[in-house]
Chains A and B, each alone.
Chain A
Amino acid sequence: MPDIESFSPRGMFHEGWTAEVNDYAIVCGWATKGKLFIVGDVAGGIFAFEGDTGKIIWKKENTHSGGLLAMSIHPEGEIFATSGQDGNIQIYNCHEGKVIKTLDLGKAWVEHLKWSNDGLFLAAASSKKVYVFNEIGEEKWVSDDHPSTVSAIKWSNNNELATACYGRVTFFDIVNNKTNQKLEWQGSLVSMELSPDGDIVACGSQDNSVHFWRRSTGMDAEMTGYPGKPSHLSFDDSGKLLATSGSERITVWSFIGDGPEGTMPGELWHHTEPISSLAFSNKGMLVASGSRDGSVVASFLKKDGNGDPVGAAFAGDLVGALSWRPDDCALAAVNAKGVVNVWKFKVRTNSF
């Protein structure tokens, strides 16, 4: 249980709605252009709420035997996919929660799922392999075995998929079945983010560092000094700022000018316990952070990565995931107790 006391939403956060799911909430996201908010819990419960009110629209329980591991909502927002410890992927219709397709990848956990930006492909990582399916669940491509279990996947453009594992980031052209690039680094890569243009690759490493590569120049750099492993990374929509976890502070690297190599990162100290979730807004330099202590803060950042908090709210327990509504006018947080909070996000006009 968090040690900090409960508090009402402050600054630009305003009361919205709350709801509950059955277990530790691990994934969430907005569908149908913000009309629907979907939450998945660790036990395999999936819940769809009305985006404005929090009214439950449908729910599914025990969707994956052993538990749910990942969820990805299609960019159009009409369908979404989940995966779990049972080695299955399920593709659902968002409106009714009806299963459109079930894919069985075998016995191993399916830990990562990502729709491509144009929504034509769904990538899934299971143990040392990565699979790509089309919208109706037909297998289009499968990788060879990676050197270790794949720890992160990310689309760099519509046809190119990046995978991270121990010692390596690999870029695959999945249409032409080609390996475009291999970036090597002897370390266990635990997280990966790409800048929106796909040029900068950032990975959090088990040895408490963040490793960058610039694909265009081949330059790489290692940012050390984190007290813990940076499991959470988020790029802003311009690809200039990268927010990273790894302790109770948020460390922000700025790629403006010659940075971030040789520059000091921005540091935001808002939380009393380590960061458990990070999410930049869909547009602009606004980053939301959630902590193990249950606090959620939105910070407005400057070009150098420093910035000021503009709002704070209390989620009640360890923040499992954060998600900005597509219009950035609301922020959702789900926690380890299965509580869902959605706060409105707007300027306070009547503060006195």
Chain B
Amino acid sequence: MSIKDKVPVTILTGFLGSGKTTLLNRILSEEHGKRIAVIENEYGEVGIDQGLVINADEEVFEMSNGCICCTVRGDLIRVLGNLMKRRDKFDYVLVETTGLADPGPVAQTFFMDEEISSEFTLDGIVTLVDAAHIDQQLGRSDESSEQVAFADVLVLNKTDLVSDDALDTLESRLRDMNRMTRIIRAENAKVPIETVLNLSAFDLDQILKRRPTFLEPEYPFEWTGVYDLDAGKYELMLEEGPDPEMSLVALVNQGENEEELKDGAESSVRLYAEKANTLEPGNTIPYGEHINLKLEDKGNKSFILNIEKPTKIGLFTQHTAEEFNMKVIKSEENKEIPFNTERFWQAEHEHDDEVTSIAIERFGDVDPEKLNTWLGRLLSEKGVDIFRTKGFISYSGNPQRIVFQGVHMLFTAQPDKEWGNEPRRNQLVFIGRNLDEKEMKEGFDKCLI
């Protein structure tokens, strides 16, 4: 049976009071032409209005081998096993879990049980969070951070009860925990149906279309400007900004296309790792060094840039130019020289939560055997802490892209579309708890050919 014939299943998770039943009722009452069977673990609170609804108590079944990744949900196997004999009655399944449910066993059921996986396909995991309470819940319970980590879609519900600033902060916290997820703000669980059903959430092309930068690494700087400068003396002028100081790296001969910008960024990352030299206003900025501009004084501050022969200067700055109204001025003519190109980078920030996402992006091909050994070992050692894995890989000698997806230790690798003229590359995202990014990246790099 091909994936198209399988019945898609959406899992709805979220703490009690996050609005799951409201969303469920909304989905069931809307005209979308789907006949939805609902399996409800949490009932009694608010009734479900209509549809084929089956109540079942959550039953988590661990296996005798003690492996948490083999743990499945007995109630789902039982109910879905019956539903699969009634395929003419429905074409979609929604599972509403209890507020305290671990999404792992729910998702694993669709990988581990052959009878279930031959008839049903996990379309996506939708997690509702109560914008007013999630901050506290994340601090208190593992379940809520796991529900966030597993989510393909996070519905940030009850936004009317929280200020916009607080929502922005919350969204960035959730984004740090799960960089693959799509975050939707909602009042009273009012979200467009197509954002929660038929996600094909495991389809990476879709994710990339939505958020082309989700795999991009984080940088210690937010902005780069490239200035085309003749020989002479220039001033870098800054007004008052959000910080009393700012880190900067200035590079000569900085190219302007994407690849050259990334090369420059990479050099700058290495320079940023070195200790910064503090520079008081009026001093000359050295090239290829990590410096820290002192910006404590009121009013305009200026630093000197000396250009011996015409070149393109790249300024990699901790904050954006706009924040300090930063300008490059040719001293003799007192004329502003605008940048030729600018590029914004995803800024690095503190990760407070144990649950984080790690993205690996590398051009080139990998050796399938080495990758299998590495990934197999990684998942068997860290599988408990790795909640979700998604990505695609370029196997050497294979014209097709290989799509990876996994839940804890379980993963599948399937050939996808042909690479064609696209540059061959690898993109993998891991969402998990206490992951060692450096070690994982090094491990992956050893699989490259």
- 18 additional A-B residue pairs with CB within 8 Å, beyond A166-B74, A228-B115: A42-B82, A67-B82, A85-B54, A148-B59, A148-B74, A149-B74, A166-B61, A186-B62, A187-B64, A206-B77, A207-B63, A222-B64, A228-B114, A229-B114, A229-B115, A231-B115, A274-B114, A336-B85
B residues 325-349 with Cβ under 8 Å of A? none
Partner of B113, one of A107, A206, A227, A336: A206
Q: Which residues of B are interface residues toward A (Cβ below 8 A)?
A: 54-55, 57, 59, 61-65, 70, 72, 74-75, 77-78, 82, 85-86, 113-115
**Quick check: A207 and B70 within 8 Å, CB to CB?**
yes
**Quick check: A149 and B59 within 8 Å, CB to CB?**
yes
Partner of B72, one of A24, A43, A206: A206
**Quick check: B63 and A107 within 8 Å, CB to CB?**
no
**Given A149-B75, A229-B114: A206 and B86 within 8 A (CB)?**
no
**Quick check: B64 and A185 within 8 Å, CB to CB?**
yes
Which chain B positions have C-beta within 8 A of A24? 85-86
0/1 string, A224-255, CB within 8 A of B gives 1: 00011101000000000000000000000000
Residue of chain B at shortest CB distance from A167:
B61
CB of A69 closer than 8 Å to a CB of B: yes
Which chain A positions have C-beta within 8 A of B86? 23-24, 42-43, 67
Residue of chain A at shortest CB distance from B52:
A66
Q: Once bound together, how far apart are the Cα atoms of A107 and B44, in whole Å?
A: 13
0/1 string, A174-189, CB within 8 A of B gives 1: 0000000000011110
**Given A148-B74, A149-B75, A206-B77: A186 and B64 within 8 A (CB)?**
yes
Q: Once bound together, how far apart are the Cα atoms of A274 and B119, in whole Å?
A: 14
CB of A26 closer than 8 Å to a CB of B: yes
- Expressed in whole angstroms, the minimum distance between the Cβ of B433 and any Cβ of chain A is 26
**Quick check: B63 and A187 within 8 Å, CB to CB?**
yes
The 6 A-B pairs of least Cβ separation, nearest first, read: A188-B61, A207-B63, A228-B114, A24-B85, A187-B64, A42-B85
Q: Once bound together, how far apart are the Cα atoms of A231 and B78, in whole Å?
A: 12
- Expressed in whole angstroms, the minimum distance between the Cβ of A44 and any Cβ of chain B is 11
- Expressed in whole angstroms, the minimum distance between the Cβ of B443 and any Cβ of chain A is 30
Q: Once bound together, how far apart are the Cα atoms of A234 and B75, in whole Å?
A: 25
**Quick check: A229 and B113 within 8 Å, CB to CB?**
yes
Residue of chain B at shortest CB distance from A185:
B64
> What are 22 A-B interface contacts by the 8 Å CB criterion?
A23-B86, A26-B85, A69-B82, A85-B54, A107-B55, A149-B78, A151-B78, A166-B59, A166-B74, A187-B64, A188-B63, A188-B72, A206-B61, A206-B63, A206-B74, A206-B77, A206-B113, A207-B70, A227-B114, A229-B113, A229-B115, A336-B85
Which chain A positions have C-beta within 8 A of B85? 24, 26, 42, 336
0/1 string, A37-65, CB within 8 A of B gives 1: 00000110000000000000000000000
- Expressed in whole angstroms, the minimum distance between the Cβ of B409 and any Cβ of chain A is 14
Q: Once bound together, how far apart are the Cα atoms of A19 and B65, in whole Å?
A: 46
**Quick check: A188 and B74 within 8 Å, CB to CB?**
yes
Residue of chain A at shortest CB distance from B88:
A23
Q: Once bound together, how far apart are the Cα atoms of A274 and B64, in whole Å?
A: 24
Q: Once bound together, how far apart are the Cα atoms of A148 and B62, in whole Å?
A: 12
